[in-house]
Amino acid sequence: MTESRRLSAHQAAKPQTQIMEACLKDIVDAYNPDAPLAEASTIPAPWYTDERIFELEKQTVFSKSWQMAARSDQLGGRGNYVTSEIAGEPIVVVRGDDDVVRGFFNVCRHHAAAVMTEAAGRAHQMRCPYHGWTYSLQGELKGTPDFSGVCNFKKEDMGLAPVETSNWEKWIFTRLDRGSESLNQTEKSLADFLGNVLVNQFKSLRLETLHWIERRCYTLNCNWKVFVDNYLDGGYHVPHLHKGLDSVLDYQNYTIENGAHSCLQSSPMVSGGDDDQVGAVRSGGRALYYWLYPNFMINWYEGVLDTNLVRPLAVDRTEVIFDFYFADLSAAARERNLASIDVGDRIQQEDLDICESVQRGLGSRAYNAGRLSVRREAGEHLFHRLLCADLRAGVESANDP
Ligand code: FES
Ligand SMILES: [Fe+2]
């Protein structure tokens, strides 16, 4: 028997030339979202490597979903603003003179320069650095130097283009595009998208008692979905890859609960553990790991919270932004908080290396799609089905006359 014949259907060697020529619709249709978990394959390798899928995701997955754009603590006062880039679009979120937080495309209506150029700050107006046009904190165009005599020009029609914005718990979310009826999960308000069950669970966590102290950013040479898959494998990789973390989690009793657009993975904690560094900063009854479709994770331990925002930079390049929050900010707790961040950093390094290894493997001719553990990988299955729904809707709308 030849080597390729010995590979299972799911591992079958992929005909590289066919994939090069396959149309986008064929690549999207290669995934079967109707297969139950026990029969399901993962999404096909080209979804992680093909530029066209990456572009389609920008138009569908990232433009039509609620995206974390700022922390609420960054927008505490009037004039506080945060800039970001979502699906390739420059965005600014700003608290207005009327105390309302609004989002805008950070694109000047004159010649398209970014109006706000710092990552975050405070301003009494938004002034474009190019030719000095100024906008109020509510986005209205106010000042246009040397622009008298221009015909058919109404300042009131030339404000910054607004972006839908909504606040939940410690975060401001924006959505570029409301989507349409056919995009099942994307026409919803943020509250509808999250659902009552999740919103009530978070109320009981009392996140208002936790305070942000630090942000760390990591750049990975992999597709953004590799990082999300790794997160959603139900702790499958923990005993193998994160030996320190494994010693404080009760791996056998790890649970996975899917919502409509979210997944809660949870593990009871065991005290002590073999790794003193991890044991000292990860304690309490349970660890809760929430994922919100498509790219935001909220990790909660007693008195400790961190979030991960997964930002696609290119088809094979991803930034993950970690924000760390703690209940106790006293000088006495400082050392423990920093040690907790260091543990998070060590775990992240382990994940980073494996994600890059996976990306290299996804490009191999020997791999086309994998299978999912029924016990562990239900969250990944949900992720893949939601992605598939968005990509299919995107392909169909592109094909509409
Ligand atoms: S591009 Fe902003 S003032 Fe000209
Ligand atoms: Fe991990």
Ligand 1 atom closest to Cα of 112? 1
Looking at residue 280, its pLDDT comes to 62
Going from the Cα of 238 to the center of ligand 2, the distance in angstroms, rounded, reads 6
Q: To which H or E segment does residue 229 belong?
A: helix 224-231
Going from the Cα of 111 to the center of ligand 1, the distance in angstroms, rounded, reads 5
Residue 360 beta carbon below 6 angstroms from any ligand 1 atom = no
Going from the Cα of 264 to the center of ligand 2, the distance in angstroms, rounded, reads 15
Q: In the 8-state DSSP scheme, what is residue 72?
A: G
Going from the Cα of 336 to the center of ligand 2, the distance in angstroms, rounded, reads 21
Dist. CA 43–CA 45, nearest whole Å? 7
Residue 130 beta carbon below 6 angstroms from any ligand 1 atom = yes
Dist. CA 300–CA 285, nearest whole Å? 11
Backbone dihedral region of 383: left (phi > 0), alpha (psi from -120 to 50 degrees) or beta? Answer: alpha
- Copy the structure tokens of residue 181: 């009826």
Looking at residue 146, its pLDDT comes to 97
Strands 120-122 and 80-86 turn out to be antiparallel
* Cβ-based burial of 335 (10 A; exposed 0-12, middle 13-18, buried ≥19): exposed
Looking at residue 14, its pLDDT comes to 54
Successive 10-residue mean pLDDT values, the chain, 401 residues: 39 49 91 98 98 97 97 98 97 98 98 98 98 98 97 97 97 85 62 96 97 96 98 95 84 94 93 62 81 98 94 98 96 92 91 97 98 98 98 88 60
Going from the Cα of 112 to the center of ligand 1, the distance in angstroms, rounded, reads 6
Whose C-alpha lies nearest to ligand 1, atom 3?
A: 131
Ligand 1 atom closest to Cα of 133? 3
* Mutation test residue for ligand 1: of 92, 105, 106, 108, the one with most atoms within 8 Å of CB: 108
Residue 198 beta carbon below 6 angstroms from any ligand 1 atom = no
Ligand 1 atom closest to Cα of 108? 2
CA-nearest of 361, 283, 267 to 42 is 361
Ligand 1 atom closest to Cα of 115? 2
Are 265 and 234 in contact, with CB atoms under 8 Å apart?
Answer: yes
